[in-house]
Amino acid sequence: MNTFKFSVRPQIHGYDKFSDFIQAHEVGPQDLIFTQRFLYDSFMQETTAQTLFYDDFCGGEPTDIAVDEMLAAIRGLGFNRLIAIGGGSILDCAKVLVLDSQQNVAELFAPGVQPERKAGLLLIPTTCGTGCEVTCVAVLDFPGIGSKIGKGFEAGFADTAILIDELLATIPYPVFATSSADALVHALEIYLAPRANPYTDILCINAARLILQGYKRIIEHGRGVIQQDAKSYLTASNMAGMALANVLAGGVHAIAMHFGSAHHVPHGEATRLFLPAVFEVYFEKQAGGKIADIAALIEDVLGKPAQGESPFGMLERLLAEVVPAKRLTEYGMKPGDVHDYADKVIETQQRLLVNNYVPLSNLDIAGIYNRLM
């Protein structure tokens, strides 16, 4: 490694309860809370802040069309701080909604467009996965071109990212499972990225260890331990997010971005699907590089693999219990789609593919699909 750059932002605050946050940050009528109704009903009814509800515009992950409607709605409101509280979809939308611009999403996502912000921005995750409370990237689905696209907005960095243990209390198990798996993917992919540096390394290895240890506890003690481990998962996903703010993820995300858009699969579910298969290919191609550190970490937490099994086979067995996955055919992918999908990944996801541990060819990507059909 010759040169590197690592930025540290935004501020990160942690609280046990939502009411602690409201008091500490003096949340009031000049603030706009952007969230989902069930979260508002569960935690926020006492606040005097204005509200905008994601579910009034969008049922699943955000499309460019839905965010254009959100932009039209928010431009009629006056507020000093936008406080986004939710999963990755909500936090990503907030990074676009806070921009000081009259442009639509297609125009905002054009190369070189970087508006300033028009208000303060606080990002509060209610899942433990994307780490997007500490990144400036917004990922939206563009059904017109058949792919999800991510763009970093310099003004999309929050002033403060806020981790509140209590907000994990209502997380449905499948959301916990796929979002924490996405954090694990961030940690493992960025550790291997050519642009990784000593700071991202330490964040990634620690995040991966915390998540793997948590998963092992779920297997040993049952799903009830998630709440006890809330701070650990929030911290791990945040650490992986800090790494992601500096170095992009790689091939697992590239393949998942396209697959998620083609079959309407939530982001964390899609990245979890492809993690073990991509890492098996990496391990087959170059077992002696940094991936050996990850193999050692997996063995350190989970023990020795079975005879003839790679550490990533053991990882797949762990994930199969904690974050069960379907076959690609169960989502509607057909064997005849394999080469078209591989072409599309290479065509639309170069931004991510350049961060691969070793290059993945069209044939490599096709082979990954075939393993999972």
Task: Return residues touching Fe ion (CB under 5 A).
Answer: 182
Nearer to Fe ion, 250 or 311 (CB): 250
Nearer to Fe ion, 139 or 163 (CB): 139
Is residue 163 a contact partner of residue 143, using CB atoms and an 8 Å limit?
no
How far apart, in whole angstroms, are the C-alpha atoms of residue 272 and residue 256? 9
CA distances from 168 to 77, 270, 284 (A): 29, 21, 38
Is residue 256 a contact partner of residue 178, using CB atoms and an 8 Å limit?
no
Encoded tokens for 332: 């509607």
Nearer to Fe ion, 182 or 229 (CB): 182
User: Smallest gap, in angstroms, from Cβ of residue 70 to Fe ion?
Assistant: 22
Nearer to Fe ion, 79 or 125 (CB): 125
How far apart, in whole angstroms, are the C-alpha atoms of residue 125 and residue 41? 16
How far apart, in whole angstroms, are the C-alpha atoms of residue 79 and residue 100? 13
User: Smallest gap, in angstroms, from Cβ of residue 186 to Fe ion?
Assistant: 6
Nearer to Fe ion, 32 or 208 (CB): 208
Question: Which residues partner with 34 through β-bridges?
Answer: 52, 84
Nearer to Fe ion, 32 or 188 (CB): 188
Encoded tokens for 173: 């198990």
User: Smallest gap, in angstroms, from Cβ of residue 366 to Fe ion?
Assistant: 23
How far apart, in whole angstroms, are the C-alpha atoms of residue 287 and residue 281? 10
How far apart, in whole angstroms, are the C-alpha atoms of residue 330 and residue 193? 31
Nearer to Fe ion, 182 or 269 (CB): 182
Encoded tokens for 153: 């907005």
Please spell the DSSP secondary structure of 274-314, one letter per residue.
HHHHHHHHHHHH-TTSTHHHHHHHHHHHH-PPPTT--HHHH
User: Smallest gap, in angstroms, from Cβ of residue 130 to Fe ion?
Assistant: 6
User: Smallest gap, in angstroms, from Cβ of residue 240 to Fe ion?
Assistant: 9
356 three-class SS: coil
Crossing angle of helices 173-192 and 198-221, rounded to 10°: 150
Give the nearest residue (CB) to Fe ion: 182
Nearer to Fe ion, 141 or 182 (CB): 182
User: Smallest gap, in angstroms, from Cβ of residue 251 to Fe ion?
Assistant: 12
User: Smallest gap, in angstroms, from Cβ of residue 325 to Fe ion?
Assistant: 15
User: Smallest gap, in angstroms, from Cβ of residue 126 to Fe ion?
Assistant: 16
Residue 126 is classified by DSSP as S
Phi/psi region, residue 241 (left: phi>0; alpha: psi -120 to 50; beta: rest), is alpha
